[in-house]
Structure 1
């Protein structure tokens, strides 16, 4: 038991530094998300027109080839694949001795999916009509975009900093953000989600990421002191 406590204690090495901008950023994210959610629930005309206009643009692109491409993209960005990506990242970090980062990602993944599910069950937005491929459940938020956003944030903030070349880091960051946009487009193209679903999902994931950072910084000392006392 003492060995287990020692390993846990050693795993809690400060991942993030305190940053006053983090509180404001999480506040901005959550305000915009809640405003968007209210507009969706109330069937706001602006949101309905926005969704309809984007759907019309992507609807004009429908073809067998595009459908095959976007179906592959939506599979690679599916919640199941996102979980696999994050578990793989956790394993790699754990094997490299970064147990703190690995445990923190696990917390973000589990708690984030619970929150996304609760929001989905609360809003209960029906999916768009005319789905190109089968999709069950409610529409808001998009599990694909939510999970992909968490994967990308994990890579940008926990993996890319290990790359010394700044130009390489910037290039990969742009590619990751581009991938997120492509996954979001695939969900709208396939009529699995509305455009506002994708935007809301990215906002929710960003909000929870920032909140988890704040929780980590807030309770870091308490957790380490707890294991110090037990040891």
Structure 2
């Protein structure tokens, strides 16, 4: 029951963001203002390292490595679920970027290209974090959970600090990751 409420809430937030990004000048002005308030200093090196480690293409490598470890433990269905969950989230993010076509903030790095909404880095980090928590939180406990959440927060800060995204891009990516993870989890539990 709770997973359906979380899914409904994430879908509602995502749809509300998309609607406002596409139609509300006031919302976009607020998002630009908030971005400017959150990003005062362009302190790039440490955040570039975090961004690199969580690059969407590299996240696929981490996902394949995790699936390989699961296959080695003869957890074949779980390995397929891990690959399918990130694949579903990434494909959804790519489609959404092409449909929304939101430009990146003016001051973003020349390294960044493509559209801004949703953040691919945050989408991948959130999805992978949810996968890791689902698989290992009970086994490794509170320290593991805190570590995953800390890394996720660092990814968010890196995307804002590098001026690659607006705050709504981060919230949208997080919502999309929760939607994709929830759907994938329900399909996995059905088997």
Q: Please, what TM-score do these two structures have when normalized by structure 1? A: 0.77
Task: Report 1:10-49 matches (<5 A).
Answer: 20-49=1-30
RMSD: 1.6
Structure 1: runs of 5+ lacking an equivalent: 1-19, 164-168, 221-231
**Structure 1 match to 2:186:** 214
Structure of higher CA gyration radius? 1
Q: What's the secondary structure of 2:168's corresponding residue?
A: helix
**Structure 2 match to 1:96:** 73
**Structure 1 match to 2:38:** 57
**Structure 2 match to 1:72:** 49
Structure 2: runs of 5+ lacking an equivalent: none
Tell me the number of residue pairs that the alignment of Structure 1 and Structure 2 aligns: 191
C-alpha separation in 2, matches of 1:135 and 1:182: 18
C-alpha separation in 2, matches of 1:69 and 1:156: 25
**Structure 2 match to 1:108:** 85
C-alpha separation in 1, matches of 2:175 and 2:90: 14
1:145 aligns with 2:131: no
**Structure 2 match to 1:6:** none
Give, in angstroms, the shift of residue 175 of structure 1: 2.0
Q: 1:154 aligns with which of 108, 131, 153?
A: 131
**Structure 2 match to 1:132:** 109
C-alpha separation in 2, matches of 1:53 and 1:22: 31
Give CA-to-partner distance per residue, 1:55-90, whole Å, 9 cap, x none: 3332x222xxx2111111111111022111111111
Q: What's the secondary structure of 2:8's corresponding residue?
A: helix
1:120 aligns with 2:101: no
Q: Please, what TM-score do these two structures have when normalized by structure 2? A: 0.93
Give, in angstroms, the shift of residue 133 of structure 1: 4.1
C-alpha separation in 1, matches of 2:136 and 2:38: 36
1:93, 1:101 within 8 Å by CA — same for their partners in 2?
Answer: yes
Give, in angstroms, the shift of residue 137 of structure 1: 0.9
Q: 2:166 aligns with which of 171, 187, 194?
A: 194
2:38, 2:160 within 8 Å by CA — same for their partners in 1?
Answer: no
